[in-house]
Structure 1
Amino acid sequence: MKMQNDVVPPSTPVPLQAQFVTITEEEAGQRIDNYLLRVCKGVPKSHVYRILRSGEVRVNKGRIDQMYRLVQGDIVRIPPVRIAEKADTTHVPAAEFKVIFEDAHLLVIDKPAGVAVHGGSGVSFGVIEQLRASRPDAKFLELVHRLDRDTSGLLLLAKKRSALTSLHEQMRDGHTDKRYLTMVAGDWKNARQHVKLPLHKYTTAEGERRVAVQAEGMPSHTVFTLLKKFKDFALLEAELKTGRTHQIRVHLSSSGFAIVGDDKYGDFALNRALLKADATRGALKRMFLHAHQITFTHPDSGKIMTLNAPLATECERFLLSLGKPLN
């Protein structure tokens, strides 16, 4: 039986064709290589750079190099490449989180502990995927920075490409101020203490990401201020001067002060005891690390903004269980 011309048998391979994409306002400003790495999901990084070097990628019919920054209205030719099927996101439950601030450029939420900021490393989805699922009409929504899964508090997201670029530049140039509240075990002495220990990232045999102090590691700097001192604990504010993975956790553990509830670098015997304790005796079932304040320049208005998130309930409860501070 003769098939209609517009029907393709399932067994017939569909030839790959070049795509021509017009760059929107939200996509403008990023480098062509970063843009391709984002849109060509499933294509090896080496292949993306190969098609750039060969001139197969064209912008406005002309050749460009990987450093080219896209402009609104640019027409990008993406050569035929086998792009992986778009991930099925129907299983991602839509979720909203407590909003600290929102406008046309930014969304700032208070992330709860125990929730990853994005999928990966054994986690099928995180905050960003859940927010996108709950806001299907959002044209652009990207994480500005990250928080550990077990850390609660302020998380910035950009609703425009220009906002993302601006905030990344501010963070890279040290023009943002991020403060955390943390509880450590031990006899903390100094009212204000600078910790400058180089940090090296590595992966364990089980594939888990870890960080260690190492001479050839990345320069890292945290300033700790003593807020409240108790018999066996101390409440500190941590001010990040650099933004390395697990920086606060490793700087404290390497200085002899484990963060209460830290399951990677902490005091595991203490953590077990706190898990078994009842609410009136200082139970804690999470890590006591909370991103409570951030200061930055608004990417559109230029206004200096300082945002705060109150200490998470379970951390506040543990703090109250310690009674009156010594200082």
Structure 2
Amino acid sequence: MTLGKTHQTESSPTPSVRRVVVGEEDAGQRIDNFLLRECKGVPKSHIYRVLRSGEVRVNSGRIGQTYRLQVGDEVRIPPIRVAQRVEQSVPAPMARHEFQIVFEDESILVIDKPAGLAVHGGSGVSFGVIELLRRQRPEAKFLELAHRLDRETSGLLIIGKRRVALNKIQDDMRAGKLEKRYLTMVAGRWMNPLQHIKAALHKYLTPEGERRVMVDREGKPSHSIVRLVQRWERYSLLEVELKTGRTHQIRVHLQSQGFPLLGDDKYGDFPLNKALEKEGLARMFLHAAILRFQHPLSGELMELTAPLPAQLQNFVASVDASQKRDYG
């Protein structure tokens, strides 16, 4: 019998004790993360306090904050006053947005994310991919991002539909077993057919509070493999394979070599970006094009691809045509 999540409430004044039976969608999750999801609006400090105090019980016994839940576990959640959440309406065009599905089965969903849409809400963005998917699929018991893409990056994005599948994919990513390749166009003539960039990256905040990344030997080890796809007089089309997955890794690694991404509004050539808008490129040229990985449940080797979006394809074609006119 497949267990689903069930809730029972003890007869006591509100807020009251809850008892939650763990289903397959939450199996393998740490108890602290489970509580943070179950008790949205409650400060993390309060969650950890009730864990340390022993008020949270699993199968009537005390557990530590790193305990991983199993199917059928009964979690006792003590009375916690949850902040009332105001439901925000999704703008109609966003609510109706149909994601391009590249692959889907009972355990994972892979979409071709459009540029300009964040993967999740936060930092001034009310809704992202995951919130929209949950709204569009109210029957889904579990939908969680397996990884992230920058808002202005398009391409392949994996969403876990089962906890066990999500955990396996994320474990494989940490172990370097999942291959991610991106297509990007940069300013300048990239000469090397193959180049490894191993430059440590450090995250910091600007005086305005914006997140940025810089090459710094004291930062985290980072490794990108760059392959030349096509070169013109002013631009180069590159394929970049990520061996690590640091924030803004491709953008900062290539900028550090003197090759800023076209349309990059954080690390790019800003006067060039303005000129490019008049030429039809009004976004950052970065696209998650290829994923190679083992299916998290079957172990089958998978290769998924997403073609360049029309705006990027059209820009490549215009650059190609322009050079042919200039050089015959």
Asked if these proteins are the same fold (TM beyond 0.5), I'd say yes
Please tell me the residue identity of whatever aligns with 1:165: N
Q: Secondary structure at the match of 2:26?
A: coil
Deviation at 1:203, TM superposition (A): 2.0
Alpha-carbon shift at residue 204 of structure 1 (Å): 2.0
- Post-superposition offset of 1:208: 1.6
How many residues matched?
308
Q: How does 1:91-110 map onto structure 2 within 5 Å?
A: 91=90, 93-110=95-112
Aligned to 1:293: 290
CA–CA distance in structure 2, aligned partners of residues 198 and 29 of structure 1: 32
**Contact persistence 2:22–2:71 (CA under 8 A):** yes
Question: What is the letter of the counterpart of residue 190 of structure 2?
Answer: W
Q: Distance in 1 between matches of 2:294 and 2:87?
A: 36
CA-to-partner distance for each residue in 1:83-107, whole Å, 9 max, x for gaps? Answer: 1224515436253201111111111
CA–CA distance in structure 1, aligned partners of residues 21 and 88 of structure 2:
25
- Percent identity of equivalent pairs: 60
**Match status 1:274 vs 2:273:** no
Measured after TM superposition, the shift of residue 235 of structure 1 is 0.4
| Aligned counterparts of 1:51 and 1:117: Cα–Cα separation in 2 | 31
Matches for 1:136-151 after TM superposition, within 5 Å: 136-151=138-153
TM-score (norm 1): 0.91
Q: Which amino acid aligns with 2:255?
A: S
Q: Distance in 2 between matches of 1:43 and 1:205?
A: 30
Distance 1:242 1:68 in 2: 28
Question: 1:85 aligns to what?
Answer: 84
Deviation of the 1:149 alpha carbon: 0.5
Runs of at least 5 residues in structure 1 that lack an aligned partner in the other structure: 1-13, 278-282
Hey, what's the Cα distance between the residues in 2 that align with 1:321 and 1:26?
48
CA RMSD in angstroms, aligned pairs only? 1.4
The aligned runs of 1:164-203 (5 Å cut-off) are 164-203=166-205
- Pick aligned residue for 1:309 from 306, 309, 313: 306
Please state which structure has a larger fraction of its residues in helix: 2
Which residue number corresponds to residue 244 of structure 1? Answer: 246
Specify the SS of the correspondent of 2:320.
Answer: coil
8 Å CA contact 1:94–1:132 kept in 2: the answer is: no
Equivalent-residue separation in structure 2 for 1:63 and 1:210 (angstroms): 42
8 A Cα contact 1:258 1:266, kept in partner: yes
What is the TM-score of this pair, normalised by structure 2? Answer: 0.91
After superposition, residues 101-140 of structure 1 pair within 5 angstroms as 101-140=103-142
Q: Conserved in 2, the CA contact under 8 Å of 1:112 and 1:153?
A: yes
Alignment correspondent of 1:257: 259
Distance 2:97 2:78 in 1: 37
